[in-house]
Structure 1
């Protein structure tokens, strides 16, 4: 067969077949007119070279496998030299993986150091300053999506916290429990979803958490037996935020948004993710005693909760 037909049947290009021939890996017969005549064995050799290439074995190192085929073996890796070729390729990949892993870890350290070098970026450089709210954020409207919540029983959900404990929301402990739900805390080394600042109520998770941090002792003194943040991010992601912001309370993780489904809480989509809409629940004796919704501005919300607790001390 001609080279074009051989290349097509082997799933290769004519240029690749000519390259293999130049390396002496493919040796077609010659017709009387000087044209190359490829047979089924040549097609199989080309296929084998391509298969090995997809495994990461370069063309130049396929000779032991092709010699095995030439010896009449049914498979190219039926010979000891072929097995040695596999092992050499594995050793090479192991070495490269080690080098790439070390490089990745070094880059991750540099990224973390650069992103966290100063969490209080001066005004005018807001890209990594999640502790301040940009001007002109859209104000969320009260659409009545939480009017049904006061008096509802809290579902029996067990959620993991950043402190390593699991919290049962229907029985977190005696007294009142404050749970502020938020969509997504920004991190200096991660980009927020596109259009984040244009979504009413989305921006401000970090200032809100800082507010609950700064008023934590006052909230406890006012009757909050415990304070929790709650979002859909996993615990590893949340733990970075807890450590960076030095939060004195745990953040609970609900990646499946089970609480939203059980209580029919409002949610929204951003960056391909379903996220909690910002709101705060006051839980007491297994029921929702009070709900704050919508929450704006989030950086002053902890003070709002504190004032409510002060007015409902009974």
Structure 2
């Protein structure tokens, strides 16, 4: 057969077939007119070499496999020499994997050290010029619109839901105590060494969880002076993830974890889907003496939300 037919059968180029021939791996016959005449055996050898090289075995290392076929075996790896090549290739891969894993671990440490160093460098008041991306809101974020999804909440009793707290134990939302408590719900908090979900900034109301937490941190004392001694952040993220955020941002309040969306079920709260996960839509509950007194929804911009709550509190009834 002609070289083009061999190449087509094996899924390689004619240049590759000529290369194999130059190495003496295949030896086609010559016709009277000087043209090469490839046999079925040649075509099979080319196919075997293509398969082996795709596994990372160098062309020169395919010789034991070809010799095995030439010896009359049904399979190119029926011979001990072929198995030895397999073992050597696996050993080589193990060494490369170990080296790459070590390099990855070093890079990951560098990334984490650098990302968290700059994140923690942003003090309680923030540092707009040097703060990392998670501490800044991009310009032109889409503004969430009020769709009425929280209109039914004011006046409802706080539900009997107990949620895990970063302060340890659980918090019962129907037993927060006398006076006012603020519970702000947010989708998820990003980390400085981890990318946010793709398209996050295009989802109205999604971006800004870290900046919102920082605003509540910076105005925690002001809220207490206006009769709100208890502030909680709440998301569907696990407690250990939230604990890292509390420590890194130096939050003076606890985060509550609701991975099963118990509060959403109890109050019919709005959620959304992103990156294959269900997340809470941003809203804030002001709970007074066991009853939802006021709801902020939608919340925008999140980096000023604690100040929005303070503004409302200054005009809210005191009795």
TM above 0.5: yes
1:278 aligns with 2:282: yes
After superposition, residues 247-286 of structure 1 pair within 5 angstroms as 247=251, 248-250=253-255, 252=257, 254=259, 264-267=268-271, 275-281=279-285
Change (3 A) 1:58 1:34: same
Partner of 2:297: 293
- Structure 1's unaligned 5+ residue stretches are none
- TM-score (norm. length: structure 2): 0.74
Aligned residue in 2 for 1:33: 33
How far off is 1:53 after superposition? Answer: 1.8
Indicate conservation of the 8 Å contact 2:65/2:76, yes or no: yes
Instruction: Tell which deviates more after alignment, 265-274 or 204-213.
Output: 265-274
My pick for the range that moved more, 240-249 or 8-17, is 240-249
> Residues 1-314 of structure 1 correspond to what in structure 2 (within 5 A)?
1-119=1-119, 120=122, 122-124=127-129, 128-133=132-137, 140-150=144-154, 151=156, 154=159, 171=172, 174-175=175-176, 178-192=182-196, 200-214=204-218, 227-231=232-236, 238=242, 240-247=244-251, 248-250=253-255, 252=257, 254=259, 264-267=268-271, 275-281=279-285, 290-302=294-306
- Structure 2 segments unaligned to the other structure (5+ residues): none
Q: Per-residue CA shift, 1:142-194, capped at 9, x if unaligned? A: 332211234288597x87776797x6x8x567326754222343443345567
How big is the alpha-carbon RMSD for the aligned residues of Structure 1 and Structure 2?
A: 4.2
**Equivalent residues, number:** 307
Asked if 2 retains the 8 angstrom alpha-carbon contact of 1:179 and 1:230, the reply is no
Deviation, 1:284, is: 8.7
Task: Quote the Cα distance in structure 1 between the aligned partners of 2:163 and 2:45.
Answer: 57
The CA distance in 1 between the partners of 2:160 and 2:220, in whole Å, is 25
Instruction: Give me the TM-score of the superposition, normalised by structure 1.
Output: 0.75
Contact residue 224 and residue 309 of structure 1 kept, 8 A: no
